[in-house]
Amino acid sequence: MSVEEGTANHGRLLGTVRDPQDVKRMTVEQLDILAAEIRDFLIAKVSRTGGHIGPNLGVVELTLALHRVFDSPRDRFLFDTGHQAYVHKILTGRQAGFDKLRQRGGLSGYPNQAESEHDLIENSHASTALSYADGLAKAYALRGESRSVVAVVGDGALTGGMCWEALNNIAAAGNPLVIVVNDNGRSYAPTIGGLADHLSSLRLSPGYEKVLDTVKEALGSTPLVGKPMYEVLHAVKKGIKDAVAPQAMFEDLGIKYVGPVDGHDVTAVEGALRAAKNFGGPVIVHAVTRKGYGYRPAEEDEADCLHGPGGAFDVETGQLVAAPSVKWTHVFADELVAIADERPDVVGITAAMAEPTGIATLARKHPDRVYDVGIAEQHAATSAAGLALGGLHPVVAVYATFLNRAFDQVLLDVAMHKLPVTFVLDRAGITGPDGPSHYGIWDMSVFGVVPGLRIAAPRDAGSLREELREAVAVDDGPTIVRFPTGTVAADLPAVRRIGAVDVLAESARTDVLLVAVGSFAQLGMEVAARVAEQGYGVTVVDPRWVRPVPAELVELAAAHRLVVTVEDGVRVGGVGDALAQAMRDADVRVPLRDLGVPADWHPHGTRAQILADLGLTAQDVARDVTGWISGLDAQPVEPVRADEAGAKN
């Protein structure tokens, strides 16, 4: 049934769904209507809030079938990556929450334990569900609990190495476990690589299981027994596999394969799931779906099937409602092309996010110089090391949150080898609606400890261009260039440059040195103006390169009465911490206060809301700074050592 036809029902059936039991009672005809109503509902709600519309439209029937065959929450669903769990939320009593999806205080865009007993894992980083499933199945086996474990993993998530580590273990353990491969052939763009090719060849061989069964039946009447019988069967099975379908990789790994099944046919999916449930060992159910199914703008969106429009969109066209603006990503993308035009050794790497990171712009100009490695950030880092060893300068463009999992590769494979690799971290800092797992707040602390790694935090478009050029000019070690999400900040010219440090504002009085990191430069200017109104002089500086700590920053610190740092990252091990340490090492006894993000799980909301919650607005920071500097006036004692400035988290 089409979306239009479904609209005619005005969601009457959907309104009766309070929990999965309601879906279990429905007839096939009702399920058809319900699927259409769910699509209407998703389009209506997500077009207002933004969110992952394409992936969820593709799993409507699949999710209905899951909830009919299994008994959640006794049976456990583990969604990988978690961005396709909206239908699951709808069927588990959370319809009302969709008006505030991904908004402050509203439903999370991912599974969330606090929302429902039907959600177990709170992921959103890809390729983890099979490992969770392996552990969970082992735990249930050891505790003697008879509960099904069902992991739903996309073809894109399956390109992540963790999935293959998990499959290896799942096969070895042999526990009952259902792995539903939701194969829509796409990550954002079409999924790349041998695995994607394998899945698509399986998709084209629907007769495989049937042929296999027929041959098994025929051979069943031959007089062969024991080992010879097995060998004949095995040889025939392998021969047919090679002839009818390419090597059925999953079966060779030791995991039963069922499929391919039409993922938009609830009855067919149910049949496959029931067979898998009763099998008694690990089974892969290969469901073929279409991303964005049933919504024309998504189906026709060649770039990413409306994977996750970054805000409200027009239902008719699928176009974003907000006026287009120049984003940090665009500035990076254009400058990278300009650099690559001049330098044939510069190449790009993306981990399945060519458009969102802007690497696609380079790919359009120099298609042979961009590598999409799949959702494989660890591989991206070490493959970049290989490219650098081969004489190239790779630029690895990923979201800040996703580089975390490649720490060891950056540390040893890249930095220890002093290799010139530039990591460009988009969506650094508080990002907003995707919530805590997507906040790019760890990079400056985590990667700040890597010897020889330089980190730049540009403040605006001009400095992003400049610092990117400086980064790719480094030839004796890795660099990181990190910037936030959204519209790029207006250019903020420096008054002067001291060494590598830009001075943005000065005063006749040298009361406070305000170190404003990256996009907080503008906030720093506003703070300086407010604090000046209270009679104190503030020097605002942008260190530009925050690791290693510029020597000039320490000298500037020594020339002021108070140092305040403000950064869009966790305080522990952040820029403030690093500067405090450098000041201690230089015996600079000026008090330092560091402002930033507490190392914690901060909820979703808009970036502005979360920053306000954290006291990272110009008004809050100005109040803090005024309080601290006036406190020093009130107590004209020997300044405390920088490391005595107070506990922090």
Ligand X SMILES: CC(=O)[C@@H](O)[C@H](O)COP(=O)(O)O
Ligand Y SMILES: Cc1ncc(C[n+]2csc(CCOP(=O)(O)OP(=O)(O)O)c2C)c(N)n1
Pattern 428-467, binding to ligand X, x per CB under 6 A? ---x--x---------------------------------
Q: Which stretch binds ligand X (CB under 6 A): 177-185, 189-197, 334-342, 426-434?
A: 426-434
Number of residues forming the site for ligand Y (CB under 6 A): 25
Task: Give me the least distance between CB of 598 and Mg ion, in Å please.
Answer: 35
Residue 81 binds ligand X (CB under 6 A): yes
According to the annotation, is 157 in a ligand binding site? Answer: yes
According to the annotation, is 83 in a ligand binding site? Answer: yes
Which partner, Mg ion, ligand Y, ligand X, none, binds residue 351 by CB below 5 to 8 Å per kind? ligand Y
User: Token digits for 383?
Assistant: 């493959």
Task: Give me the least distance between CB of 462 and ligand X, in Å please.
Answer: 23
Task: Give me the least distance between CB of 36 and ligand Y, in Å please.
Answer: 20
According to the annotation, is 156 in a ligand binding site? Answer: yes
Say how far residue 306 (Cα) sits from the centre of its chain.
Answer: 16
Contact set for ligand X, span 355-394 (CB under 6 A):
356
Between 266 and 353, whose beta carbon lies closer to ligand Y?
353
Selected from 88, 327, 427, 571, the binder of ligand X by CB under 6 A is 427
User: Token digits for 445?
Assistant: 């602390």
Q: How many residues belong to the chain?
A: 649
Hey, how many other C-beta atoms are within 10 angstroms of the C-beta on 218?
10
Q: Strand order in 422-426's β-sheet?
A: 370-372, 346-350, 393-399, 422-426, 479-482, 454-456, 545-547
Which partner, Mg ion, ligand X, ligand Y, none, binds residue 151 by CB below 5 to 8 Å per kind? none
Residue 372 binds Mg ion (CB under 5 A): no
The C-alpha torsion from 479 through 485 and 489 to 493, rounded to 10°, is -10
Alpha helix (H) residue ranges in 572-639: 575-585, 607-613, 618-634
DSSP 411: I
Strands 501-505 and 496-498: antiparallel
Residue 68 binds ligand Y (CB under 6 A): no
Selected from 123, 124, 350, 378, the binder of ligand X by CB under 6 A is 124
Between 11 and 58, whose beta carbon lies closer to ligand X?
58
Residues 6+ apart with CB under 8 A from 219: 229, 232, 233, 236
Selected from 11, 54, 109, 156, the binder of Mg ion by CB under 5 A is 156
Which partner, Mg ion, ligand X, ligand Y, none, binds residue 157 by CB below 5 to 8 Å per kind? ligand Y
Q: Which residues are identified as catalytic?
A: 291, 377, 405
Q: Which stretch binds ligand Y (CB under 6 A): 143-151, 348-356, 450-458, 585-593?
A: 348-356
DSSP 18: S
According to the annotation, is 184 in a ligand binding site? Answer: yes
- Token look-up 């790009």 returns 348
Q: 596, 277, 240, 239: which is closest to 448 by C-alpha?
A: 596
Distance between terminal CA atoms of the chain? 54
Provide the sign of the torsion angle of the four alpha carbons 506, 510, 511, 513, taken in this order: positive
Q: 546, 551, 554: which is closest to 519 by C-alpha?
A: 546
- Token look-up 């402050």 returns 104
Residue ranges at the known binding site for Mg(2+):
155, 184
Interface residues with Mg ion (CB under 5 A) are 154-156, 184, 186
Interface residues with ligand X (CB under 6 A) are 81, 83, 124, 308, 310, 356, 427, 431, 434, 485
Residue ranges at the known binding site for thiamine diphosphate:
83, 124-126, 156-157, 184, 295, 377
